[in-house]
Structure 1
Amino acid sequence: MAIASDAAPPGDAPTKRRGLVVNNSLDKEKVPFVTKDGSMNVTWYICGPTVYDSSHVGHARNYVTFDIIRRILEDYFHYNVKYVMNVTDVDDKIINRARRNYLMEQYRSTATDLSKVIKDLDIAMEEEMVKQQKKISDTEDELAKATSSRQKDDLADRVKQEQLKVNKINEARDSMNILKEKAMKLEGKEGIDILLGGNAADSLASQLDSKLGATVTDHAIYKSHTLKYENEFWDDMTSLGCGYPDVLVRVTEYMDKIIEYVQVIVANKFAYVANGSVYFDTKAFKEGGHQYGKLNPAAVGSSLLASESESNFETSEKRTSCDFALWKKSKPGEPSWESPWGMGRPGWHIECSAMASDILGDSMDIHSGGHDLQFPHHDNELAQAEAYFHCHEWVRYFFHSGHLSIDGLKMSKSLKNFITIKEALTKYTARQLRMLFVIQSWDKSINFSTTVVNEALGKERQFKNFFANVESYLRQPPMEGVQRPGDDEKQLFSRVDQAQDQVRERLEDNFDTAGAVTELLSLVKDVHSYIDKCKSAGGKPQLALLKKAAVFVTKILTVFGLSEAKNNEIGFGSTNQAGSTGDLATTVAPYVEGWVSLRDKVRSAVKSGASQVSLEEIKGKLMELTDKDRDENMVDAGVCVVDDGNTSKWRLDDPKILQRERDERRLKIKEEKLRVLRQKRLQKANLLEKHESASVSPSELFKTREEYKDFTFDDRGVPSHDKDGNELTKSAKKKVEAVYKKAAADHEKFKASLAKDPQFLQNMQKELQEIDSDISQLEQDR
């Protein structure tokens, strides 16, 4: 069996290997990875995007994950991978979204009556809510009938998804009510634009499509829609550092092959024609000795689990409920192509079977996609290809990436709980998002939260600090102070070799990148310990040994796509932002300008203050200037300076990352200042209230309180009889006496304070106002 053991990972010792094992969804377990011909050539088909909207972080999870695995296969195990990806540019989702966008634009351009727009939105949202409530009811009914545990889990998850959609409709309705008030104040076109810019417009678009969708006949509308989002998809993939596929196929460019593919399946008697559509015959397929639903057999027979993107699942043309469309007769308002069965378009699944078969033939090594594609998409792909080739193994290994979830639900456009890739990249770098996926199991779900993101950011910082530490030593003459290796050096040499073996073991175990990162960080910790030992002993670490460890860590991070280091570089790669001209002045300008600016400010501070302020004040000013230079000029130039005792270490980094980190530190400082000020304000306000209460004479204390209105008071002003003339009870007298006694004591203290400082109350009020002003200023600066 030819496996990855024939190739040596970078830097590895020639030790015996157990070979690569992978989680194959077809086997539901980890199995040895062997290519179909036993060679180092791997054929791989990945389900690409359906280009109907902007890609979100859930899509990034899928494509970055498989980009990482592809890199490991190619750059670590040295396989030759043929990577094929499709673009779905005709599909129910694309048709619906393109039509709705077009119809909404038409509606927006002709709408002039604000009251009519409000009425239309109200009706549309009500209709949307009724439809959504029915979906929940239908799903709950099917859940009650489910028999297998997996089907129950899938349907229970679907109930949550449908409920979330109800919540989104309610949120949209609440938002619309707020927008109504603004719109009615503005009236006219401006008010209409405000209303139609809200989420409620989605319900109106759906209603317009159901009524007017058939009138949209210009196919250029669909073409321009898909072109826009495909270009956006490739921009996102480039931003995330994903490699391009070796072969790209699009559905609209494959109509002839898709039609031929369907014809063969019909000829093989695994499909039938019905009223211009062609359906796959699952009964005939099973009777022919094939297994239907290999990936998720529990979902077979569930209309709700099979119906996503199957717009005509409810059609009466199908012989059995499990049958699915290979070719759909086009309805009015849909793009269509000529076929032996009339004008129509491909079903959702046939496109991948036909295109993958055309490029990779009757068998491929790897087919990949998101976990949610197992059924019906990938199960139906398998059935179609097996029916076409008369085979039983079209795909050898199915890889399914785990969901990216928010609050336990898959990130999804239909659920409107997504963050676009472009939005995410305004907050995090591509490397940080990639690190997030690297430190998780590729085939398990991730809950996208602050906790997991911060874990990724923390690990990135650990690697940055490691590289900065090593680089600070490598700037010294390499052989200066080199001595005979001692036990510490020998131990670290052995530790680097051990780390190479451990990383290899982790990657051979189902591409365990999370485990590999843990091993790398363990090595990083040991290198830091070695450096600390050398410093404690008054010696110097051996630079060649530091570099050996750093080079290995860099190589593995490069394999994962986390580093762009070239040649003999260590770290995350060059972050020079000066341009590609190579001009020395251009390159060094940001750093020189920062240094010159600091020098000018230092000279100015010393000259202007030499005769006016103390030496301590000048020292403070100089420290302030150097810290400001560290946090402003250097950060903007892409230099991270870290103070380490009496010396400082530096490293180059992306200015945007450093600026973001600096701003986050400043925000934390401001938040802490706010917390302290608010606590101080509370204490001051309570004290002021106490003093103001104590300023009232005890003789007037009870007379000013509502609960003692119409009571009778003694000569001290203490209640003696209630409003009905009844003498207070013993316990009531005891209570008021205690209150009087405390008030009298507090009043005496107040008079003593007043005698010392007649303005002390006004001063406290002024202090409170100053604290309020400081709080207000900090809140504005956040």
Structure 2
Amino acid sequence: MASTQQPHDAPKAAKPTQDSWRIPTPAFDEPKIKVFNSLTRSKVDFVPKKPGVVTWYNCGPTVYDASHMGHARNYMAQDIMRRILRDFFGYEVNFVMNITDVDDKIIVRARQSHLLTKYLSDLSTSSAPSSRVLQEVTSAWTAYFLKAFSASLATPPADDSFEAASAGWAEVQARARDAAWVEQEKGKNEKFPMYFAAVGSGFEAVEAARKRGEGSLEDAKALVEANKDAMGLWLDKQFGASVTDPAIFRDLAAFWEDSFFHSMAALRVERPTTLTRVSEYIPEIVSFVEGIVERGFAYEGGGSVWFDTAKFEGAEGHKGAEEGDEEWRHTYAKLQPWSKGNRELLEDGEGSLTSTTGKRSASDFALWKSSKPGEPAWPSPWGPGRPGWHIECSVMATAVLGEGMDVHSGGVDLAFPHHDNELAQSEAFHNCRQWVNYFLHTGHLHIEGLKMSKSLKNFITIDDALEKYSARQLRFAFLLQNWNARLDFKESSMQEVRSAESLLNNFFALVKALAAEAKEQSVASDGQHHYEQAEKDLLAKLESAQLAFRAALCDSFDTPTALQTLLDLVSQTNIYLARGRSSTNIRAVLAVSEYVTRMLRMFGLGEGSPVEGPAGERVVGWGTAPVPGQEDAGVDRDAVLMPYLRALSSFRDQVRQLAMSNAASSDILALCDRLRDEEMVELGVALDDQDDGRAMVKLVPAAQLRAARDAKAALAAEKAERKAAAAAAAEQKRLERLEKGRVDPQHMFRTDEYSAWDEAGMPTKDRDGNEVPKSRTKKLAKEYAAQKKLHDEFLKEQAKAQA
């Protein structure tokens, strides 16, 4: 037996090792998320404090009136950015929004609404003469006019009587005929047109009542309604202090809060993670204000507490407050330092009811307001009062998110003083240098190039907009504009939206039809892979689009570029599909449709669930198709199927009848066309005839098919009408030509203009017996030849008619 031992000098076998591996080198640089930060007025890298989590506070509405398109612009833009961060970039977003239900505007609106309602109610139950109502409405109109137009008069009114105000109104009306003067007044006060209309209609009603004399109860109510703006102010001045029931203020705010969220739901704006209301955080607000006072940045004056902007500006931060950053000083008005001394903005930020008693500087702002009679009040160390406007957001954001946040957002009109005051009081309380890391301000909304305003009569509520456009169309329009730019909402842009919507609808309808066909066909291979250069090019375009889409969203949520990338990809895929079904690789097309579907739905443009593809993928469409596998859940099969079955059965019966009567094939084809253009259209089924003799079946909303059919029919009718009109014109021209040819050329020149003719009827001498010149004879010969041609045609037609 041979020995198995190796020689002592034989080398040991090397232990197998894996080959070396290198980190791949990316073909493209990974785009970083950048956002336009109002704190720097530039695009900066987005770096949340916690990996994968974004804390976000959003200024919610002050609820005292109907939500309008300005609200839609603001909250839909923030909804889109929130969805992008969460559903595209994968962040968990803790989104907090407040409801301002304690505010000067709410107090004034609630009191005026309550007092006006009570006034009208009292009219119905009192026996007071309408002359008293006329006197009170006249006083209200006078006060309203003097408040609105005293500064517009060339000379001040002699007194505050109705007669003096009437004279002043006549002067305003006369000057308003000058367009330049009107523009000048609008420049001073953008509400000028609103005041002009209210004063004008109110004055007409007062004058009519004065001429009529004693009137009925209905006349009195109509007079009050015509002057409701003036009466609301007058009643509030007279009796506002008597409104003490807190429910009056809460009920108004609750009503409009519910209306706001109803409008947001209609626009598919998601509700916040956490919703806060000012009225629910009063104790926390009092404690917060106490903290600012203790730190020396606020003072009490006149029963109110004021933030001391002068003391805050440049104040040194406490050492060690921020690790690695010991030396720093507070800064006031970080967002808009150029607005610090803007008295108009400062006063508007304080509210119409705020008393300035005890205030040291014009730039100081109220943290806590002393409540006057007719205003809601809560207890505090400084006496009964209510929160200032700015303090509410600082307190509620702190209560939910802690000592700072990643993102704060709101409309650009809030930047100063509201957000700047928020920053100052919060950084004073928390002793921090940067309470907010990223401030995102959404741009203004204009209507057809003009700022939206009731005075300009271009004020559009969300409900008004949804009567004309779908929620999807409005969101699409907003996506086509950058979130921080001014958005001009106009009909031409909505036409662009409809065009894009049509492109996508048609694309999804076609892909769904192709997917359904593929699903019905056998999965057995035909021996060909169907992955040629066209498919390679299509998927290369998909990858390029995906990279461009990501880069756009990284570039401060550039949705216009991102959305256009999707539309371009769909157009390129349509070019691929135009080659015909026989050369279509459904898998390549589904890859595109699945991506486009997911991105559109990520933006919030989807409705319902996408349609199932040939192997179970939910890949196609942004419409209202049912969730795959749940078609029968809770569905009445008879109600769904019978309309289609009846149409098919009726068609079968009519085809059999035509066949048994030996009808012409054209009759059967006409029946097929009627099935396609009438019955199937009403059922939402499109049958597109193809070159191979088979019809492409698509499920499309019936309204969309009817519109397309009717447009086609209208076009055909218009073409037929033009053809008939052209034929009628040609016939008229022919008849006129024949009528002209009725005259025999031998007689056409036998007039008193000539005195001699040859045997053919051509003139030889004029009326004076002179020979007709050769040049004249030549011209007459041409006329004679033309008439002979016409006369020959006439004789020919006459002979045909007699035959």
TM-score by length of 2: 0.71
Structure 1 position 17 matched with structure 2 position 30: yes
Structure 1 position 292 matched with structure 2 position 328: no
Structure 1 position 249 matched with structure 2 position 276: yes
Instruction: Give the Cα separation in 2 of the matches to 1:195 and 1:346.
Output: 38
Aligned to 1:574, which of 624, 630, 637? 624
Aligned to 2:96, which of 75, 79, 84? 84
Counterpart contact for 2:190–2:455, Cα < 8 Å: no
Instruction: Give the Cα separation in 2 of the matches to 1:676 and 1:117.
Output: 66
* Alignment-derived partner of residue 173 in structure 2: none
Aligned to 1:63, which of 52, 75, 79? 75
Task: Give the 3-state SS of the residue equivalent to 1:265 in structure 2.
Answer: helix
Distance change (3 Å), C-alpha of 1:581 and 1:506: closer
Instruction: Give the Cα separation in 2 of the matches to 1:123 and 1:440.
Output: 48
Letter of the 2:554 counterpart = E
* Alignment-derived partner of residue 10 in structure 2: none
Letter of the 1:55 counterpart = S
Structure 1 position 131 matched with structure 2 position 131: no
Structure 1 position 434 matched with structure 2 position 460: no
* Alignment-derived partner of residue 188 in structure 1: 216
Letter of the 2:379 counterpart = E
Counterpart contact for 2:545–2:566, Cα < 8 Å: yes
Task: Give the 3-state SS of the residue equivalent to 1:476 in structure 2.
Answer: helix
1:503-524: CA deviations, max 9, x gaps? 0000000001110011111111
Q: CA deviation at 1:668?
A: 12
Q: CA deviation at 1:642?
A: 6.8
- More divergent stretch after superposition (254-263 vs 184-193): 184-193
Q: CA deviation at 1:294?
A: 1.3
Question: How does 1:215-364 map onto structure 2 within 5 Å?
Answer: 215-288=242-315, 289-309=329-349, 310-312=351-353, 315-364=356-405
- More divergent stretch after superposition (127-136 vs 96-105): 127-136
Instruction: Give the Cα separation in 1 of the matches to 2:225 and 2:477.
Output: 33
Distance change (3 Å), C-alpha of 1:105 and 1:474: same
Task: Please give the root-mean-square deviation of Cα atoms over the aligned residues, in Å.
Answer: 4.1
Distance change (3 Å), C-alpha of 1:491 and 1:165: same
Instruction: Give the Cα separation in 2 of the matches to 1:497 and 1:486.
Output: 17
Task: Give the 3-state SS of the residue equivalent to 1:308 in structure 2.
Answer: helix
Instruction: Give the Cα separation in 1 of the matches to 2:662 and 2:199.
Output: 66
Task: Give the 3-state SS of the residue equivalent to 2:49 in structure 1.
Answer: coil
Instruction: Give the Cα separation in 1 of the matches to 2:662 and 2:237.
Output: 80
Counterpart contact for 2:443–2:483, Cα < 8 Å: yes
Distance change (3 Å), C-alpha of 1:652 and 1:472: closer
* Alignment-derived partner of residue 568 in structure 2: 522
Task: Give the 3-state SS of the residue equivalent to 1:54 in structure 2.
Answer: coil
Task: Give the 3-state SS of the residue equivalent to 1:260 in structure 2.
Answer: helix
Structure 1 position 35 matched with structure 2 position 48: yes
Distance change (3 Å), C-alpha of 1:471 and 1:182: farther
Task: Give the 3-state SS of the residue equivalent to 1:465 in structure 2.
Answer: helix
* Alignment-derived partner of residue 690 in structure 1: none
Q: CA deviation at 1:391?
A: 1.7
- More divergent stretch after superposition (450-459 vs 500-509): 450-459
Aligned to 2:191, which of 126, 142, 165? 165
Counterpart contact for 1:579–1:587, Cα < 8 Å: no
* Alignment-derived partner of residue 153 in structure 1: none
1:137-175: CA deviations, max 9, x gaps? 9xxxxxxxxxxxxxxxxxxx9985864422123334555
Q: CA deviation at 1:649?
A: 5.3
Aligned to 2:604, which of 561, 564, 573? 561
Counterpart contact for 1:136–1:163, Cα < 8 Å: no
* Alignment-derived partner of residue 743 in structure 1: none
1:81-133: CA deviations, max 9, x gaps? 11111111111111111111111111221236666656655654554344334
Instruction: Give the Cα separation in 2 of the matches to 1:222 and 1:106.
Output: 15
Task: Give the 3-state SS of the residue equivalent to 2:589 in structure 1.
Answer: helix
Instruction: Give the Cα separation in 2 of the matches to 1:640 and 1:424.
Output: 30
Counterpart contact for 1:602–1:625, Cα < 8 Å: no
Letter of the 2:312 counterpart = F
Distance change (3 Å), C-alpha of 1:541 and 1:369: same
Distance change (3 Å), C-alpha of 1:58 and 1:539: same
Q: Which has a greater percent of helix? A: 1
Letter of the 2:352 counterpart = S
* Alignment-derived partner of residue 167 in structure 2: none
Instruction: Give the Cα separation in 2 of the matches to 1:451 and 1:316.
Output: 51
Of the two, which has the highest radius of gyration? 2
Task: Give the 3-state SS of the residue equivalent to 1:293 in structure 2.
Answer: coil
Question: How does 1:363-442 map onto structure 2 within 5 Å?
Answer: 363-411=404-452, 417-442=458-483
Task: Give the 3-state SS of the residue equivalent to 1:485 in structure 2.
Answer: coil
1:254-275: CA deviations, max 9, x gaps? 0011001111111111111011
Q: CA deviation at 1:35?
A: 1.4
Distance change (3 Å), C-alpha of 1:518 and 1:575: same
Instruction: Give the Cα separation in 2 of the matches to 1:373 and 1:96.
Output: 21
Q: CA deviation at 1:354?
A: 0.9
Letter of the 1:554 counterpart = T
Aligned to 1:109, which of 100, 121, 130? 121
Question: How does 1:460-609 map onto structure 2 within 5 Å?
Answer: 460-477=501-518, 479=523, 483-533=529-579, 535=580, 539-564=582-607, 565=609, 568-576=618-626, 582-583=632-633, 586=636, 589-590=639-640, 592-594=642-644, 596-597=646-647, 600=650
Letter of the 2:548 counterpart = Q
Distance change (3 Å), C-alpha of 1:600 and 1:504: same
TM-score by length of 1: 0.73
Counterpart contact for 1:161–1:415, Cα < 8 Å: no
Q: CA deviation at 1:484?
A: 3.4
* Alignment-derived partner of residue 324 in structure 2: none
Distance change (3 Å), C-alpha of 1:20 and 1:578: closer
* Alignment-derived partner of residue 713 in structure 1: none
Instruction: Give the Cα separation in 2 of the matches to 1:306 and 1:296.
Output: 12
Task: Give the 3-state SS of the residue equivalent to 2:583 in structure 1.
Answer: coil
Q: CA deviation at 1:202?
A: 2.5
Instruction: Give the Cα separation in 1 of the matches to 2:558 and 2:686.
Output: 32
Q: CA deviation at 1:339?
A: 0.3
Gaps of at least 5 residues in structure 2 are 1-25, 154-182, 316-328, 611-616, 729-803
Letter of the 1:509 counterpart = D
1:279-317: CA deviations, max 9, x gaps? 111111114142211111222211212222522567242
Counterpart contact for 1:135–1:162, Cα < 8 Å: no
Q: CA deviation at 1:206?
A: 2.4
Counterpart contact for 2:407–2:438, Cα < 8 Å: yes
Letter of the 2:636 counterpart = T
Distance change (3 Å), C-alpha of 1:569 and 1:116: farther
Letter of the 1:592 counterpart = M
* Alignment-derived partner of residue 770 in structure 1: none
Task: Give the 3-state SS of the residue equivalent to 1:397 in structure 2.
Answer: strand
Q: CA deviation at 1:186?
A: 14
Question: How does 1:624-643 map onto structure 2 within 5 Å?
Answer: 626-634=676-684
Counterpart contact for 1:57–1:420, Cα < 8 Å: yes
Q: CA deviation at 1:436?
A: 1.3
Distance change (3 Å), C-alpha of 1:666 and 1:221: farther
Letter of the 2:576 counterpart = Y
